[in-house]
Structure 1
Amino acid sequence: MTDTVDDDVNVDALTLGRRIRAYRVQRGLTLEALAQAIDRAPSQVSTIENGNREPRLALLRAIAAALGVTVDDLLDPTPPDERAALEIAVERAQRGPVFAALGIEPVRVSKAQADAGLRAILALHQEVERLHRERAATPEEARRANAELRATMRARDNYFAELEEIAASLLTSVGHAGGPVSQQTVSDMADHLGYSLHYVGDLPHSTRSVTDKRNGRIYLPTEQSASRDSRSPILQAFASHLLGHDEPGNYADFLRQRVETNYLTAALLLPERDAVALLAEAKNFRRISMEDLRDAFAVSYETAAHRFTNLATARLGIPVHFMKVHESGTIIKAYENDAVAFPSDALGAIEGTPVCRSWTARTVFDVADRFSPYYQYTDTPRGTYWCTSRIEKAKEGDYSVSVGVPFADVKWFRGRETAHRAISTCPDEACCRRAPAALASTWEGQSWPSARTPTSLLAALPTGTFPGVDATEVYTFLERHAPAGRSNG
């Protein structure tokens, strides 16, 4: 274009302002002289040059005429020189969300400031912005972190000897003699670690428990979920103390700490010595059962299944896989060291990917009897696997919890005589991802479903030191409940 511009042109006010200033200085004009030439107040010209106002087209033409240039010259997106580019970068940084979130008063950028000082401000901003990006993990970053963590778990057969030792030491310190861990034993553990338990009705909605490290208090909800073990929140609350966790620096740290906390909680509820003794005897009699492990230690089926994966390979020599699958057919979490082929994306992440319709984790949803164990053999391209699965309920809907082993190891399990069998050729799309030809010929192009898209697919994960937790709500809660005279101690 030549000296003409549409009203809706995308103007970079900062660059435009610096270019007007550069041309004004080149022409030897003062701010007042340019203002007089375009019949405006000097303050208005200053506002434009500082990038705080975008002039209308008529005013832009007047400025161009006064400076002896074209409108195109003024709208060129290139900064007039290196100094101007540096000033623009600093101004843009100070107007961004990072400075606003930190509450830092913007620095007035002027000619008197040295380039080195401006570069220092810009470098600090870029580093803070980088740290914010790491903290606010995108779904892609979170999926990559999940894949890396699962690889670590596989390399260790999901067995962490150091966490087993911590659990055994604490159990010994409170005189646990074996068998199920009672609520009283859990309370004794908290007392041993210097924590008192307080049940409240106003726990922050984003939390399961809140620990006041200053005053040695653990706050828990007065109303317990019918599907949740009342001992678990207490154990999880002081697990981070036992593990020496610092505030997570990024989402990968958060995931690792959560896995360690859940592992230690399970190791306390199902002590290694007692759980291995029960499972070894069951293996000897060829009757390993997740239900028996659950009942022996009075835990949930999911906790028993998780704990089995900790001990199956390291202590019993049995390779294993675990799956938790939502009723929609997508994986919530999974683990394997038996070469089963989980569906995954290009990053190697499996969370949120759909499970084959023929796998036990999906077929169990079609079983009428949801109170009895369900067993199934599945023939896959990597061999035949046997699985036991059960439906559990949560506020997000039903989900299946499945434990499986290769065919060679099914001899150790109760339920190996099942007649249920399926064939899966996934990831071949013809297996279950492509509609049968008859259905496709009738309905292809004639349907338009409205997908229920999870918001997590469209937005970044919750930010903050502890993702999903409202820090202000937690601090206000602690201030409200702190012992008199000790909230600021």
Structure 2
Amino acid sequence: MPPTSLELSTLGHRIRHQRLAHGYTLDELGAVVGVAGSQLSLIENGKREPKLSLLQAIATATGVDVGDLLSTEPPNRRAALEIELERAQTSSVFRQLGVPPIKVSKGMSDDTIESILGLHRELQRREREAIATPEEARRANTELRLMMRERDNYLPDIEKLAEKQLKSAGHVSGALTHRTVSIMAEKLGFELLYVNDLPHSTRSVTDLEHGRIYLPPASIPGGHGLRSMALQAMAHRLLGHKRPTDYADFLQQRLEINYYAACCLMPETASVAFLQQAKKDRNLAVEDFRDAFGVTHEAAGMRLTNLATEHLGIRLHFLRVDGSGAITRVYENDDLPLPMDVTGAVDGQIACRKFSARAAFSEQNRTTEHYQYTDTPAGTFWCSTQTGTTSAGEFSITVGVPFDDARWFRGRETQKRATSTCPDESCCRRVASDVSERWSGKAWPSARVHMQMFSPLPRGAFPGVDDNEVYDFLDRHA
């Protein structure tokens, strides 16, 4: 195998070091070993590989062993700096800048090279931290969604881990209490602390050195979610997560900690028993599943996607849609036709107006689930939708199944039916000709544009997290 450019560069520096240490010029050493000084210069600059016979002659002339010349260690600090700079200036990150490389001269000080290397190191650091462009992020998210679809959204290893941890903490049945979550943390060597000054860019912060998990105050609205936050923080330790290497790794870790928290809040054994009985009674309902374990409607709907196919033999879909009709969270393995962009991403796409996920916003009674059958190009689907409101606006949570499986669910008797031909533009996207003729050229709407459409993802191994804020916070509480 031919030597690498780095190996040749190191060899050249070691030859130069020995030549200068013995007071030879290039021509003088060249005369001793039988080559021109210009040829020796090419070897010292790592541009040419010397023959073994020449290496032996150079070693004899300088009084060292051939092994010393072939060592992979730079002969001195100056050589180490020059080699690192050469490597940095041949990197793809530097070449993409289109900036000509700096040629190191004898008169260039070590401090100058150190300063230039500092810029290269920062360039490499920023390249590592810029985890993904929006398009790369969408592709990574799509790949993860498709991978989970193949697994029916079921991760048995995490299911077993959660049940083991719950059993160790003494949890038997019913809703998981904050006290039990604290016991689970203690068994991992953590203390749960509720503070008012968490960094704005974080949901929780784990101090690995002192064994503390910092969470927001228990008195905040929706404080029931603190159980999930604490469980997610613990999951990183239990699942052996390391610092994310790229955005896909970050997404995978986030999925796994969310899955673990869901498994703890709605344990597999108890949840499956509840769902199997409800199916036997032909009375499956997300709202009942939610209330039995004291979680949110969204959490219950997502947990159903983990268990329904694996344990009940039911394929299904889940949608969270905001008030503008954009899909913000999705899962399906029942072939529901969904809008996708060119990368295959569904998140951010606009759901069909005929879907229950959007039609439910016009319902007067928002306190109960709304049911609907929808005829689509892929068949007829039954759906159950619950709407809600947050500070960010309206949203809906929909869980649906193919027509044949509606028989197991409460609300199957509904007479409400719609027809969707999306992605056909004529379904709900194309303006009626008479309306278009009436208003074309006479309206100028000001679009509400989300700035993230134009921005790269936040830098950092944990996107959007401000390290300065986090470290200042830890210093305050240490």
Is TM > 0.5 for Structure 1 vs Structure 2?
Answer: yes
1:216 match: 211
CA distance in 2, matches of 1:407, 1:273: 28
CA distance in 1, matches of 2:141, 2:93: 32
Summarize the Cα distance change of 1:327–1:93 in structure 2 as closer, same or farther, 3 Å threshold.
Answer: closer
Please say if residues 93 and 125 of structure 1, whose CA atoms lie closer than 8 Å, have aligned partners that are also in contact: no
User: Would you say 1:427 and 2:423 are equivalent positions?
Assistant: yes
CA distance in 1, matches of 2:454, 2:157: 38
The residue type paired with residue 137 of structure 1 is: A
Alignment counterpart, residue 184 of structure 1, candidates 160, 172, 179: 179
Summarize the Cα distance change of 1:470–1:131 in structure 2 as closer, same or farther, 3 Å threshold.
Answer: closer
Alignment counterpart, residue 458 of structure 1, candidates 450, 454, 457: 454
User: Would you say 1:340 and 2:336 are equivalent positions?
Assistant: yes
CA distance in 2, matches of 1:242, 1:463: 26
CA distance in 2, matches of 1:253, 1:178: 34
CA distance in 2, matches of 1:166, 1:373: 33
Summarize the Cα distance change of 1:113–1:430 in structure 2 as closer, same or farther, 3 Å threshold.
Answer: farther
CA distance in 1, matches of 2:107, 2:314: 68
Alignment counterpart, residue 368 of structure 1, candidates 342, 364, 368: 364
Alignment counterpart, residue 199 of structure 1, candidates 194, 197, 208: 194
**1:243 Cα shift?**
0.9
The 5 A counterparts of 1:20-169 are 109-112=103-106, 129=124, 132=127, 135-169=130-164
CA distance in 2, matches of 1:389, 1:213: 41
- Aligned residue for 1:389, secondary structure, equals strand
The 5 A counterparts of 1:364-403 are 364-403=360-399
User: Would you say 1:227 and 2:222 are equivalent positions?
Assistant: yes
1:476 match: 472
CA distance in 2, matches of 1:366, 1:133: 46
**1:248 Cα shift?**
0.6
**1:207 Cα shift?**
1.1
User: Would you say 1:171 and 2:166 are equivalent positions?
Assistant: yes
Summarize the Cα distance change of 1:481–1:337 in structure 2 as closer, same or farther, 3 Å threshold.
Answer: same
2:406 match: 410
**1:410 Cα shift?**
0.3
Gaps of 5+ in 1: 1-85, 100-106, 483-489
1:67 match: none
Summarize the Cα distance change of 1:445–1:134 in structure 2 as closer, same or farther, 3 Å threshold.
Answer: farther
**1:300 Cα shift?**
0.6
List per-residue Cα deviations over 1:105-139 (Å, max 9, x = no partner): xx96444599xxx9xx99x9599659726743111
2:280 match: 284
Out of 226-235 and 288-297, give the one that drifted further.
226-235
**1:205 Cα shift?**
1.1
2:265 match: 269
Percent identical? 51
- Aligned residue for 1:282, secondary structure, equals helix
**1:180 Cα shift?**
1.7
**1:260 Cα shift?**
0.6
1:31 match: none
C-alpha RMSD over aligned residues: 2.9
**1:394 Cα shift?**
2.5
Please say if residues 191 and 211 of structure 2, whose CA atoms lie closer than 8 Å, have aligned partners that are also in contact: yes
The 5 A counterparts of 1:229-268 are 229-268=225-264
Aligned residue pairs: how many? 383
CA distance in 2, matches of 1:284, 1:238: 36
Out of 154-163 and 199-208, give the one that drifted further.
199-208
**1:227 Cα shift?**
3.3
Gaps of 5+ in 2: 1-85
**1:95 Cα shift?**
12
**1:264 Cα shift?**
0.5
- Aligned residue for 2:203, secondary structure, equals coil
